[in-house]
Amino acid sequence: MINYPALFLKGASIPALVIGIVGTVVATFVAGSSGLFAGLAALVVVVLFFIIHLIIAATTRSLDPRLTFAFVALSFLTKLVGMAGFMIALSQTSIDRPWFAGVAFATALGWLVGEMVAYRRLVRR
């Protein structure tokens, strides 16, 4: 049996980490320590957000679809509240907001493209 969450994690995490690390290096070079902090924070936020989704998918795959939906909805709400708290905490720092947004967007895009490529490989099997 194929372990779908592991397949998607491997396919998505590699491009996301590469893009996030490159973005963090560029942010550090351009904006200094506030760029480094912004890049690292963005990388952590994006990777945690998506990994939580994969964990939920892995643990609920044998449950009733309605129960799975309830878990996914609850995890989404929890991630939104956690993200709001994280953003409030970051607003009190000297984080470089444009670099945070840019690295977060690029890392999320890398994750999603990696998942799509992993899915395409899965379909071709």
Asked if the model's pLDDT at residue 37 lies above 90, the reply is: yes
Which pLDDT tens digit goes with each residue over 99-122?
A: 999 999 999 999 999 989 988 887
Global confidence as pTM: 0.83
Q: Which residues contact 46 (CB under 8 A, 6 or more apart)?
A: 16, 20, 104, 107, 108, 111
Q: pLDDT category, 15, cuts 50, 70, 90?
A: very high
**What residue ranges do the domains of the chain occupy?**
4-124
Q: Which residue has the higher pLDDT, 66 or 16?
A: 16
